Amino acid sequence: MEVTKPSHENATVYRKYSAFQRISRKSYQGVFNTSNLRGILSLAAALLLWQVFSKYKIPPLALVPTPHEVLQEAIRFVPTRTFWWSVIFSSGRIFVGFFTGCLLGIPLGIFMGWKRHVKNVAFPVYELVRPVPLLSWVPLSVLMFPLTEVSIVFLLFLAAFYPIVINTILGVENLPASYVNGALSLGSKPIDILWHVIIPGALPSIFTGMALSIGFEWVACVAAEMLAGGFGLGYTIWEAYVFSIYPRIIFCMFAIGLSGYLFGAVVRAVGSQMTRWRQIY
Amino acid sequence: MMKEGHVEIKDVSKIYDPLGVNVLALEHCTFEIKPGEFMAIVGPSGCGKTTLLNIIAGFDTATQGEIWVDGVCVASPRNRLTPGPDRLVVFQHGALFPWKTVLENVTLGPSMQGTMGHKEVTERARELLRVAGLEAFENEYPMNISSGMQRRVEIVRALINEPKILLLDEPFRALDAMTKTVMHKYLLDLFDLTHKTVLFITHDLDESIYLSDRVFVMTTRPGKLKKWINVAIPRPRDIRTKVTDAYFELRKEAIEAVHEEALKAFERGERELAR
- Assess contact for B200 and B208: CB atoms under 8 A: yes
What superfamily in CATH does domain B1-86+166-171+195-275 come from? Answer: P-loop containing nucleotide triphosphate hydrolases (3.40.50.300)
- Assess contact for B12 and B77: CB atoms under 8 A: no
* pLDDT tier, B242 (very low <50, low <70, confident <90, very high otherwise): confident
Q: pLDDT for B69-101, tens place per residue?
A: 998 888 888 888 888 888 999 988 888 999 999
**B-proximal residues of A, 136-165, CB under 8 Å:** none
Q: In chain A, whose CA is at the least distance from the CA of B57? A: A185
CA–CA distances in Å: residue A128 to residues A125, A166, A212, B5: 5, 13, 20, 54
- Supply the pLDDT for residue A30: 66
- Assess contact for B195 and B239: CB atoms under 8 A: no
Give A159→chain B minimum CA distance, Å.
29
CB-closest option in B85, B89, B94 to A187: B85
- Say yes or no for a CB contact (<8 Å) between A185 and B87: yes
- Say yes or no for a CB contact (<8 Å) between A186 and B59: no
* Per-residue DSSP letter, B5: -
User: Which residues make Cβ contacts (< 8 Å) with residue A219, sequence separation at least 6?
Assistant: A134, A159
Average pLDDT, chain B: 88
- In this structure, what are the phi and psi dihedrals at residue A82, rounded to the nearest 5 degrees? -55, -45
Contacts of B93 in chain A (CB under 8 A): 176, 178
pLDDT at B2 over 60: no
d(CA B71, CA B258): 33
B236 upstream amide cis, omega within 30 of 0 = yes
d(CA A114, CA A112): 6
- Supply the pLDDT for residue B1: 41
Q: pLDDT for B44-75, tens place per residue?
A: 887 888 889 999 999 888 889 999 999 888 88
* More confident call, B27 vs A79: A79
- Say yes or no for a CB contact (<8 Å) between B100 and A197: no
Beta bridge partners of B240: none
CB-closest option in A179, A185, A197 to B83: A185
User: Residue B38 in 3-state DSSP?
Assistant: strand
- Supply the pLDDT for residue A34: 76
> Number of residue pairs across A and B with CB atoms under 8 Å?
71
Beta-strand pair B7-16/B23-33: antiparallel
- Say yes or no for a CB contact (<8 Å) between B83 and A184: yes
Q: In chain B, whose CA is at the least distance from the CA of A189? A: B112
Give A279→chain B minimum CA distance, Å.
8
- Say yes or no for a CB contact (<8 Å) between A192 and B112: yes
Q: In chain A, whose CA is at the least distance from the CA of B106? A: A186
Number of Cβ atoms within 10 Å of the Cβ of A232: 27
Beta bridge partners of B169: B201
- Say yes or no for a CB contact (<8 Å) between A176 and B93: yes
- Of A38, A177, A154, A24, the residue nearest A101 (C-alpha): A154
In the predicted model, residues of chain A with pLDDT beneath 70 are 1-15, 19-30, 280-281
- Of B18, B103, B15, B20, the residue nearest B62 (C-alpha): B15
Number of Cβ atoms within 10 Å of the Cβ of A192: 18
- Supply the pLDDT for residue B25: 85
* Per-residue DSSP letter, A4: P
Single-letter residue type at B205: L
Beta-strand pair B38-42/B214-218: parallel
Topology classification of domain A75-278:
MetI-like fold (1.10.3720)
Number of Cβ atoms within 10 Å of the Cβ of B81: 16
pLDDT at B158 over 70: yes
Give A267→chain B minimum CA distance, Å.
19
The B-side interface with A (CB below 8 A) comprises 57-59, 82-85, 87-89, 91, 93-95, 97-100, 108-109, 112-113, 141, 143-144, 157-158, 161
Query: Strand (E) positions, A69-210?
Result: none
A124 upstream amide cis, omega within 30 of 0 = no
CA atoms within 13 A on the CB side of A222: 18
Contacts of B85 in chain A (CB under 8 A): 185-187
